[in-house]
Amino acid sequence: MSAHAVEAGSTPLSLLEKAAKALSAFQGSRPRLTLTEVVHRSGLPRSSAHRILDQLVQLGWLEREGRDYRLGMRMLELGALASHHNRLRQAALPHLHALHESTGHLVHLTVLDGTEVVYLERIGRSDDASVPSRVGGRQPAYCTASGKAILAFGDAAQVDQVIRQGLRARTPRTLTRPEFFRSELRRARERGVAFDYEESYRGVFCVAAPLRGSGRAIAAVSVCGNGVHRELERIAPMVAGCTRLVWQSMFGPGRPPRGQEPEAAEPPVPRESMDDMMSWLRSSDWM
Amino acid sequence: MSAHAVEAGSTPLSLLEKAAKALSAFQGSRPRLTLTEVVHRSGLPRSSAHRILDQLVQLGWLEREGRDYRLGMRMLELGALASHHNRLRQAALPHLHALHESTGHLVHLTVLDGTEVVYLERIGRSDDASVPSRVGGRQPAYCTASGKAILAFGDAAQVDQVIRQGLRARTPRTLTRPEFFRSELRRARERGVAFDYEESYRGVFCVAAPLRGSGRAIAAVSVCGNGVHRELERIAPMVAGCTRLVWQSMFGPGRPPRGQEPEAAEPPVPRESMDDMMSWLRSSDWM
């Protein structure tokens, strides 16, 4: 939204909005940026960027090393606090650990933000580096099991938005055609879980279940791994069981979530015929 | 420093400094705060706090739930990015995991900030909740193994500052007398590791080694656990070995750290006589 303000040149940005833009410049793989790079990435005027970077260093939100800036300790602290105070993450944590211990694979907790999933938690062994996810990281929703699990039990408008933004091929297996993607979501609604067969990364397979009561999904839990496709069917009910436990620990077993859960329940979805399902599976590069 | 500006009433705070103060209000055990609570904790005028909280919600740095505010997703994302980009943490991570796997206990990576240690990483099992540490959390340096390990190989002025601030008894075992605390640091310098025998929390024992080359410590690695006192002597060399590996992975095996390591090497410390050591051990509540 602040980006729009800059482009339209309508409302001048507040110092806080400028600071947010400067900090967003660090959202890339390179941890260190020079003033020029921050100016380039943020679109802020150089003099303004310089003054703001100075202030951010003063606050400990950035650190300065020679001519380079990087995110600072204070930002790490505030973010860790945000994570610690995140109610969903706190409720899910013991169940995510249990799921990791019973499956032996990497476990994620994600929420949908626009057309992307954001990783709130990641529980894995030290050698789970083959799946390049990280807490606070983002992925497009359409090519992840988590994203599909949330979208399948979400708002139709969200699905439309995801499709409008385009289903870009990340791997040869990414579902890039809207009709296949919609069928995939219907299938996820029927099964209660969604899969990712190397649709984001080569070799990486995932299964995810939506976190929900009787209404829309508010998050998803997934289990991912390199070459775990043979295990996904066995793991799927464990992931679904995990989300039920998380839901219960947040809202209690029988109680309605009282304003926490989106009010509108999903209309029942007509079950796809098995023939249709098989035909699009064959026509895609799944089989 | 912004607190001083408010108290002295000298320089008016920038919007960014006010935002930092508003965010700092959330640094407690309670995740949700009302406007009144933020005003109370931050010292900001109510009208100003209201406007700033609104802006922080707009940026996603805070979230609003009815009349309550809590730290938001965007703050979690930025903080996770700061953690991900932290060079020390990245270099240490594989070695911390290895140390956790070989000891089976909770492993921490900490840095000193003023008179407190800040936890940059925490590697443990799901049931390590008995040690109430968290990433981004803080503890007074004087009563933690990590803090003592860094102070023992640090700046004398830092030690003076810690003592000036007071060594408050956290448990009956906290070293609260300056002369005992200084002896403890000398002992840590001799052994190359520092211990915490229930000085922060009842039942919690830790051993820490400083991360350093030939100069001052820049961080510490510790292993902690509930009732692990019998294992600390066995674990101590493993922790020291871990810090050597982390140092090497940051600066290479033989190479001097070239401006990364504080220049001034510690003057040699006279070895405490064993009699002195035993006498203060007896006079304290250690033995």
Please tell me which of the candidates A58, A75, A126 has its beta carbon nearest to residue B97. Answer: A126
Which of B1, B2, B15, B16 should one mutate to test binding to chain A, selecting the residue with the greatest count of A CBs within 10 A? B16
Span A167-188, pLDDT tens digits: 999 999 999 999 999 999 999 9
**Residue A181: what pLDDT?**
97
Note the pLDDT tens digit of each residue in A63-121. 999 999 999 999 999 999 999 999 999 999 999 999 999 999 999 999 999 999 999 99
Look at chain A and count its residues: 287
Q: Search chain B and give the residue with CA nearest A54.
A: B16
Per the CB < 8 A criterion, the answer to whether B122 and B107 are in contact is: yes
Chain B residue with Cα closest to A122: B80
Average pLDDT over residues A198-214: 94
Domain boundaries, chain B: 2-73, 86-256+271-283
Contact call for A80 and B137, based on CB within 8 A: yes
Q: Indicate the CATH number of B2-73 among 1.10.10.10, 3.40.50.300, 3.30.950.10, 3.40.47.10.
A: 1.10.10.10
| Contacts A23 to B, Cβ<8 Å | 78
Where residue A125 falls among pLDDT bands split at 50, 70, 90? confident
Does the pLDDT at position A9 exceed 80?
A: no
Average pLDDT, chain B: 85
Which CATH topology does A2-75 take? Arc Repressor Mutant, subunit A (1.10.10)
pLDDT for res B285: 33
Contact A81 B27 (CB under 8 A): yes
Residue B197 has which token pair? 């025998």
In the prediction, which pLDDT does B126 show? 67
The whole-number pLDDT of residue A121 equals 95
- Model pLDDT for residues A221-232, shown as the tens digit of each residue: 999 988 788 899
Residue B269 has pLDDT above 70, yes or no: no
The closest CB to that of B14, out of A55, A77, A126, belongs to A55
**A234 is written with which tokens?**
């066995």
pLDDT at A176: 94
Chain B from 69 to 98: CB within 8 A of any A CB: 70-87, 93-94, 97-98
What CATH class has B86-256+271-283? alpha beta
- The pLDDT tens digits of the residues spanning A256-268 come to 444 444 433 333 3
Distance, CA of A270 to chain centre: 28
Quickly state the pLDDT bin for A10 (edges 50, 70, 90): low
The C-alpha atoms of residue A32 and residue A49 are separated, in whole angstroms, by 15
Best of A32, A44, A78, A245 to mutate (most B CBs within 10 Å, chain B) = A78
| Mean pLDDT, range B250-259, rounded to an integer | 64
Q: What is the rounded CA–CA span in Å between residue B117 and residue A73?
A: 12
> Measured between alpha carbons, how far is A170 from B248 in angstroms, rounded to an integer?
37
Q: What is the pLDDT of residue A253?
A: 74
Averaged over A14-21, what is the pLDDT?
94
CB contact under 8 A, A23 and B78: yes
* Span B31-47, pLDDT tens digits: 999 999 999 999 999 99
C-beta atoms of B136 and A84 within 8 A: yes
Q: Which residues of A touch B61 (CB under 8 A)?
A: 20
**Could you give the 3-state DSSP secondary structure of residue B248?**
helix
- Report yes or no: B136 at the A interface, CB cutoff 8 Å: yes
Calculate the alpha carbon distances from B214 to B251, B254, B264 in Å. 12, 11, 9
Is 70 exceeded by the pLDDT of residue B1? no
Residue type, B232: L
Question: A16 and B15 in contact by Cβ < 8 A?
Answer: yes
Nearest CA in chain B to A18: B16
Half-sphere exposure of A34 (CA within 13 A, CB side): 4
ipTM exceeds 0.90: no
Lowest mean pLDDT among A74-83, B46-55, B87-96, B252-261: B252-261
pLDDT of A101 reads 93
pLDDT at A242 over 80: yes
pLDDT at residue B7 is higher than 80: no
Three-state SS string over B36-51 comes to HHHHHHHCCCHHHHHH
Query: Quick one: B163 exposed, middle or buried, by C-beta within 10 A (0-12, 13-18, 19+)?
Result: middle
Percentage of chain A beyond pLDDT 70 is 84
CA distance B266 to A7: 55
Amino acid at position B164, single letter:
R
- CATH top-level class for A84-283? alpha beta
Query: φ and ψ at B57, to 5 degrees?
Result: -65, -45
Please give the residue of chain A at the shortest CA–CA distance from B26.
Answer: A81
Q: Give pLDDT, residue B254.
A: 59
A17/B55 touch (CB, cutoff 8 Å), yes or no: yes
For residue B24, pLDDT over 80 is answered with yes
Q: What is the DSSP string of B72-96?
A: -HHHHHHHHHHHHH-HHHHHHHHHH
Nearest to B59 among A16, A98, A134 (CB): A16
- pLDDT-derived band of residue B211, with 50, 70 and 90 as boundaries? very high
Residues of chain A in contact with residue B19, where contact means CB-CB under 8 angstroms, are 16, 19
Average pLDDT over residues B235-261: 81
Query: Looking at residue B266, what is its pLDDT?
Result: 36
Return the higher-pLDDT residue of A263 and B28.
Answer: B28
Residues of B in contact with A86 (CB under 8 A): 71, 76
Phi/psi at B249 (nearest 5 deg)? -70, -20
- The answer to whether the beta carbons of residues B209 and B195 sit under 8 Å apart is no
- Residue A52 half-sphere exposure toward CB, CA atoms < 13 A: 25
Q: Is the pLDDT of residue B170 over 70?
A: yes
Q: If DSSP codes are grouped into helix, strand and coil, which group holds residue A99? A: helix
Residues A94, B126: C-beta atoms closer than 8 Å: yes
Backbone angles phi, psi at A103, to 5 degrees: -100, -30
Nearest to A85 among B20, B55, B71 (CB): B71
| Amino acid symbol at A99 | L
Average pLDDT rounded to a whole number, residues B3-25: 76
